[in-house]
Amino acid sequence: MTNTIDSYAQLHSPPRILMGPGPSDVTQNVLNALSQPTVGHLDPFYLEAMDGLQSMLRSVFKTENELTFAVSGTGSAGMETAVVNLVEPGDSVLVCVNGVFGSRMADVATRAGAVVNTITKPWGQVFTTTELKDAIAKHTPKVVGIVMAETSTGASQPISEIAEVVHNAGGLLIVDAVTSLGGMNVAVDQWGIDVIYSGTQKCLSCPPGLAPISFSPAAVVSVEQRATKVSSWYLDISMIANYWGANRAYHHTAPINMTYALYEALRLLHEEGLDACFARHALNHQALKIGLETLGFTYAADPDHQLPMLNAVNLPDAVDDAQMRSALLEQYNIEIGGGLGELKGKVWRIGIMGHSAKPENVLGLLDALEKLFMENRINCESGTAYNAAKAVYLGGCSD
């Protein structure tokens, strides 16, 4: 039967508690900002909003980089922007791969015409400076790419010493901070990162649609000295910079209302304070971790390098991955993520990002899991995980 125009219903999205790998819960303030009247992309009001957005992005990235802005696209667009601007056909690129998103960066660099080599680690582990030095000596890359917060494994990669190794060899460093920005310390200038990109939908608690990015002066010089045009017209920063800079030269019609939303999300983050926000994510991680371990879950990432905002946990043998996640969604409106790549069906990815990182979400998830365990006759004592996590909030335990 063919639908008529009159037969289409209005959308009414269901209430969800978003505790997957992204997106995260969005505050009403941000949703209100998103619904403000649209203006033109060269309207004085919008240009002023762009200036404020840039200033707040520099603060959260901890950088003075002039070329700091929001790419019109999701976090993957940020990845492509970083790669296609620094990489010319034939350039040597080294990508560190210990999960899905390292592999994706290598794919993007290959499509840009680079000669791509990879250094790999088992999923959940991170790279050492010695391993990177050896790989750089072997491949002499112009660009090295690495993921700071690997969303597929929950592994947290230290960056500062990695950047020093790359720069000592004369290379440029690209860092994926899609999951880390806003949830843990990201210090672009102190660490010496050349290009860093993120996404709005994780710890910034903004709907997906923009990709914060920052280019160091050295990265800008590299782009200016290219012998070939950037392979993507849309993502060519030599033109985008004229729109985000003082010239305000038209490049494309920016997503006006998404800029409003990100502006408000960043304003709320700065109102809370970066250090307080990082501490909130760490505390909720500690509570969630002890609760999950009480239920028999173990963490997939190296114990010394676990992300606070993305908890990748190995499933107990008795847990049916898809059935249990479906039950959480259908009975409790809680969304968590399954595994990707080689971890598909083996792990859950539980996000406590941005506005989702709060005690009621952590305790609510643990309570729901306890009830589902008992319904499915999985060994579990009622209240044990919930109470263990609650003790963390009361100061009775630390990770």
Is 290 a domain residue?
A: yes
Is the domain of 118 the same as that of 256? Answer: yes
3 pLDDT tier (thresholds 50, 70, 90)? low
Give the whole-angstrom CA distance, residue 280 versus residue 274: 10
Residue 308's SS3 state is: coil
String of b and e for 30-57 (b: at least 16 CB within 10 Å)?
beebbeeeeeebeeeebeebbeebbebb
Task: Provide the pLDDT for residue 65.
Answer: 98
Is the domain of 237 the same as that of 300? Answer: no
Reply yes or no: is the peptide bond before residue 23 cis, omega within 30 of 0: yes
Give the whole-angstrom CA distance, residue 77 versus residue 72: 8
User: Poorest-confidence range of 97-101, 247-251, 346-350?
Assistant: 247-251
- Among the listed residues 80, 151, 138, the one whose alpha carbon sits nearest the alpha carbon of residue 307: 151
pLDDT tens, 353-369?
999 999 999 999 999 99
CA angle 179, 220, 261 (to 5 degrees): 40
Task: Provide the pLDDT for residue 4.
Answer: 62
CATH of the domain at 181: 3.40.640.10
Give the whole-angstrom CA distance, residue 382 versus residue 361: 18
Mean pLDDT of 70-99: 97
399 pLDDT tier (thresholds 50, 70, 90)? very low
Task: Provide the pLDDT for residue 183.
Answer: 98
Has residue 1 got a pLDDT over 60? no
Is 286 a domain residue?
A: yes
How high does pLDDT run on average in the chain?
95
Has residue 397 got a pLDDT over 60? no
The DSSP call for residue 13 is: P
- Domains held by the chain: number: 2
Is the domain of 217 the same as that of 305? Answer: no
Is the domain of 220 the same as that of 335? Answer: no
pLDDT tens, 58-75?
999 999 999 999 999 999
Give the whole-angstrom CA distance, residue 265 versus residue 257: 12
Task: Provide the pLDDT for residue 188.
Answer: 98
Is the domain of 103 the same as that of 203? Answer: yes
CATH of the domain at 389: 3.90.1150.10
For residue 70, the tally of other CB atoms under 10 A from its CB is 25
Is the domain of 237 the same as that of 384? Answer: no
Higher pLDDT pick, 247 / 356: 356
CA angle 269, 273, 276 (to 5 degrees): 110
Is 83 a domain residue?
A: yes
Is the domain of 188 the same as that of 235? Answer: yes
Task: Provide the pLDDT for residue 7.
Answer: 83
Out of 225, 244, 270, a domain closes at 270
Give the whole-angstrom CA distance, residue 17 versus residue 23: 10
Task: Provide the pLDDT for residue 2.
Answer: 60
Task: Provide the pLDDT for residue 246.
Answer: 84
pLDDT tens, 185-225?
999 999 999 999 999 999 999 999 999 999 999 999 999 99
Element (H, E) at 85: helix 75-86
Task: Provide the pLDDT for residue 269.
Answer: 98
CA distances to 17, 108, 196 from 232, rounded to whole Å, are 37, 12, 18
In sequence order, which residues have a C-beta less than 8 Å from that of residue 210 and are 6 or more positions away?
Answer: 70, 71, 72, 73, 74, 199, 200, 255, 258, 259, 262
Is the domain of 57 the same as that of 184? Answer: yes
Is the domain of 169 the same as that of 92? Answer: yes
Give the whole-angstrom CA distance, residue 111 versus residue 109: 5
Is 181 a domain residue?
A: yes
Is the domain of 94 the same as that of 51? Answer: yes
pLDDT tens, 5-49?
668 888 999 999 999 999 999 999 999 999 999 999 999 999 999
Is 320 a domain residue?
A: yes
Element (H, E) at 33: helix 28-34
For residue 274, the tally of other CB atoms under 10 A from its CB is 16
Higher pLDDT pick, 399 / 386: 386
Task: Provide the pLDDT for residue 129.
Answer: 97
Asked whether 287 and 398 are in contact (CB, 8 A), the reply is: no
Q: What are 301's two structure tokens?
A: 């990432």
Give the whole-angstrom CA distance, residue 129 versus residue 69: 30
Q: Which residue has the tokens 């190296």?
A: 302
Asked whether 302 and 158 are in contact (CB, 8 A), the reply is: no
In sequence order, which residues have a C-beta less than 8 Å from that of residue 253 and are 6 or more positions away?
Answer: 41
User: Poorest-confidence range of 246-250, 289-293, 357-361, 384-388?
Assistant: 246-250
Range of the domain at 159: 28-270
Is the domain of 265 the same as that of 278? Answer: no
pLDDT tens, 269-328?
999 999 999 999 999 999 999 999 999 999 999 999 999 999 999 999 999 999 999 999
121 alpha carbon, distance to own chain's centre: 20
Is the domain of 192 the same as that of 225? Answer: yes
Task: Provide the pLDDT for residue 137.
Answer: 97
Is 230 a domain residue?
A: yes
Task: Provide the pLDDT for residue 170.
Answer: 97
Has residue 161 got a pLDDT over 70? yes
Start-to-end C-alpha separation, the chain = 58
Q: Where are the alpha helices (DSSP H) in 143-195?
A: 160-168, 188-191
Mean pLDDT of 254-274: 98
Out of 245, 270, 295, a domain closes at 270
Give the whole-angstrom CA distance, residue 33 versus residue 263: 8
Name beta bridge partners: 348: 313, 338
Is 22 a domain residue?
A: no
Is 344 a domain residue?
A: yes
Has residue 261 got a pLDDT over 50? yes
Mean pLDDT of 102-125: 97
Out of 224, 250, 270, a domain closes at 270
Task: Provide the pLDDT for residue 245.
Answer: 87
